[in-house]
Structure 1
Amino acid sequence: MRDVEAGLSEAPRLRVEVSDDRVVATLDRPDRRNAIDQRMVDELHALCADLEADPRTLIVTGAGGIFAAGADIAQLRERTGDDARRGINASVFDRLRHLPLPVIAAVDGFALGGGAELAYAADIRIGTPRARFGNPEPGLGIIAAAGASWRLPEIVGHARASELLLTTRTLDADEALQWGLLSSVHDPEELLDAAHALVDRIAANSARATILTKRALLAPRSDHPTVDGELQAELFDSPDKHARMTAFLERKKK
């Protein structure tokens, strides 16, 4: 896997740890509370390129007890309408969302603005009691345009998403769990262990079946059930399916 730190004159924004079946990417910009700037966006694109070429499950987390306090306001203030149309953050979050294997967001502390939208792009979100989600963009004269307006309603429902985005209030971990924004809550020192336990469960399954399950989940409603049949057809004809089902039947005989 290509080193995303190579060639950068400044300190890298991501710490990337690679294993055989997983990657842990830690947002690491402690002086700016892990705010997402252009350099971090570039490094996330580089990481996505690696994971598209060599799929692994991805865990995204933040350093220093903060997930990401938002986009870098100093950069955001200078962006123009043309920058908005380019979808700088939206494009990388969408690329993360469509990685072949699952993305898990392990959220400790604040996930605000662009940081929240990064978490919304994950397939699974887990957190700590300190996790906080919010989209303060209207208070800054903009909208949450990197996925919140449509991903958040898919996760928590339209009414709850409307409340969060229109009032700009912050959601604590208990409410996030109740709303289904978080799947589980863990003590801070156990958060990454819980994320790795999820990856262990994913890794025990057929990698191809996992990839196609994610593809089915992301397919438009209008493509179902046709897409399900096509994806299943590929798996039904695979040696892996035959081997796994044979092993299952052999275990039942014992």
Structure 2
Amino acid sequence: MSTTDASGTPLLVEHRDDRVIAVIDRPERRNAIDRATIEALHDLCADLERDPRTLILTGAGGTFAAGADIAELRERRAADALEGINTRAFMRIRALPMPVIAAVDGYALGGGAELAYAADLRIATPGARFGNPETGLGIIAAAGASWRLRELVGESLALELLLTGRVIDGEEAYAAGLVSELHPADELLPAAHVIADRIAANDRAATIATKRAFLAPRAAHPEIDLELQAQLFESPEKHRRMTAFLERRRRRRT
């Protein structure tokens, strides 16, 4: 099944049985993330929390998301900062039960970069541009970059990018481990679907459990791994898949 919501929202959402494709679509603002985009992301998260599926997140028109909407951001005050408008949405995306794949072309700056950092997997084009120029605007990267970027690329590079605002291209992002694959622009979304296909071929419950274990704090291990494994050991799907594996191996030997 495939349906697309294009009713004037800044987020175009296509629903399929095993995945959802969400496209940030504000071409007049280079897909800058405003309050309406955040609300649309919350609606999307609510849907994927009820019915977990892999999410492919990308931007329209050769841009992922060129930061927050500065005109809107300029008017925000202390209470808005404490509300964590972008932060809460990006944390919710990170915590989704199934994997999130960010397919990045063009600019992913500021809040756009932080949205990409919140994904589980990132692929990009050589022409992608990642950066956090917040200090040049008199603020900090407070929607995830200050802690996620270090985990993704290491402390030295993360600090350099956050303190200088330097923008890196897709090639440097790949070399640093920020993205796992590079593709030409016309092959980027198909490549994201290849990853989603591989995920879909695996057991859904095991995929959800793997993400839960991966995101758990260090102190929760190994107990959380054992608890999740215990649940999967009782699953009929585990028995079915292992039986099929043994049957295939038996046939290869005969």
C-alpha distance in structure 1 between counterparts of 2:162 and 2:168, whole Å: 11
1:23 and 2:20 aligned: yes
C-alpha distance in structure 2 between counterparts of 1:244 and 1:119, whole Å: 33
Q: Where do 5+ consecutive residues of structure 1 fail to align?
A: none
The Cα shift of 1:157 comes to 1.0
C-alpha distance in structure 2 between counterparts of 1:100 and 1:130, whole Å: 30
Asked whether the equivalents of residues 4 and 43 of structure 1 are also in contact (C-alpha less than 8 Å), the reply is no
- Equivalent residue, structure 2, for 1:97: 94
- Equivalent residue, structure 2, for 1:12: 9
1:123-181 deviation per Cα after TM superposition (whole angstroms, max 9, x unaligned): 00000011010000000000000000001111111111111101110011111000000
One-letter identity of the residue aligned with 2:90: F
One-letter identity of the residue aligned with 2:72: Q
The Cα shift of 1:3 comes to 8.0
C-alpha distance in structure 2 between counterparts of 1:165 and 1:107, whole Å: 19
- Equivalent residue, structure 2, for 1:223: 220
C-alpha distance in structure 2 between counterparts of 1:228 and 1:2, whole Å: 36
C-alpha distance in structure 2 between counterparts of 1:4 and 1:42, whole Å: 15
Q: Where do 5+ consecutive residues of structure 2 fail to align?
A: none
User: Out of 93, 107, 112, which is 1:110 matched to?
Assistant: 107
State the SS of the aligned residue for 1:230.
helix
1:135-214 correspondence to structure 2 within 5 Å: 135-214=132-211
C-alpha distance in structure 2 between counterparts of 1:162 and 1:225, whole Å: 31
1:61-140 correspondence to structure 2 within 5 Å: 61-140=58-137
State the SS of the aligned residue for 2:140.
coil
C-alpha distance in structure 2 between counterparts of 1:51 and 1:226, whole Å: 27
C-alpha distance in structure 2 between counterparts of 1:2 and 1:121, whole Å: 25
The 1:2–1:142 alpha-carbon spacing in structure 2 relative to 1, beyond 3 Å, is: farther
The Cα shift of 1:2 comes to 10
C-alpha distance in structure 2 between counterparts of 1:14 and 1:114, whole Å: 15
**Could you state the TM-score of these two structures normalised by the residue count of structure 1?**
0.96
Percent identity over paired residues: 66
Asked whether the equivalents of residues 2 and 50 of structure 1 are also in contact (C-alpha less than 8 Å), the reply is no
RMSD value, Cα: 1.3
User: Out of 237, 244, 250, which is 1:253 matched to?
Assistant: 250
1:224-252 deviation per Cα after TM superposition (whole angstroms, max 9, x unaligned): 11111111110011111111001100000
Asked whether the equivalents of residues 4 and 46 of structure 1 are also in contact (C-alpha less than 8 Å), the reply is no
C-alpha distance in structure 1 between counterparts of 2:196 and 2:205, whole Å: 15
The 1:252–1:3 alpha-carbon spacing in structure 2 relative to 1, beyond 3 Å, is: closer
- Equivalent residue, structure 2, for 1:42: 39
State the SS of the aligned residue for 1:99.
coil
1:92-112 deviation per Cα after TM superposition (whole angstroms, max 9, x unaligned): 000000111000000000000
C-alpha distance in structure 2 between counterparts of 1:127 and 1:3, whole Å: 24
Asked whether the equivalents of residues 98 and 207 of structure 2 are also in contact (C-alpha less than 8 Å), the reply is yes
**Could you state the TM-score of these two structures normalised by the residue count of structure 2?**
0.96
1:27-48 deviation per Cα after TM superposition (whole angstroms, max 9, x unaligned): 0000000000000000010010
